[in-house]
Amino acid sequence: MKACPEEIVLYMQEHLDGDLSWEKEQVLKEHLQKCTACQEYFQELKRTIAYIQSTSHIQTPENFTMNVMARLPKEKRSEGVRR
């Protein structure tokens, strides 16, 4: 296996940031077409992102807002709504 150009991994990362210039994008594409190891690596990076994004179900505790309001310093309460 011949060594891949060092900047290819950086180009992949920049691609994932939406930060890769058109010229570098072509270099990356061209390299990926002929290098399965880099293809695989690139897939792994993309899969990693999908994994991170898949963790998103989580419920905020009940009464969260009420509890915050109860923790606010009392002295500022005077001008607010009276109960």
Partner 1 sequence: MDALVNQRIKQVLRGDQEAFGEIVELFKDKVFHLCYRMLGNRHEAEDIAQEAFVRAYVNIHSFNQKRKFSTWLYRIATNLCIDRIRKKKPDYFLDAEVAGTDGLTMYSQIAAEGKSPDSEVETLELQEIVQREILRLPDKYRVVIILRYIDDLSLNEISEVLDMPLGTVKTRIHRGREALRKQLSNL
Q: Rule CB under 8 A: is residue 4 a binding residue for partner 1?
A: no
Exactly one of 1, 23, 37, 76 binds partner 1 (CB under 8 A); that residue is: 76
Percent of residues in the chain assigned helix, strand, coil, to nearest 5: 65, 0, 35
Q: Which of 2, 6, 37, 78 binds partner 1 (CB under 8 A)?
A: 78
- To which H or E segment does residue 13 belong? helix 7-16
Residues 1 and 56: their CA atoms lie apart, in Å, by 39
Q: Which residues bind partner 1 (CB under 8 A)?
A: 10, 13, 16-17, 19, 44-45, 47-49, 51-58, 60-61, 64-65, 67-69, 71-73, 76-81
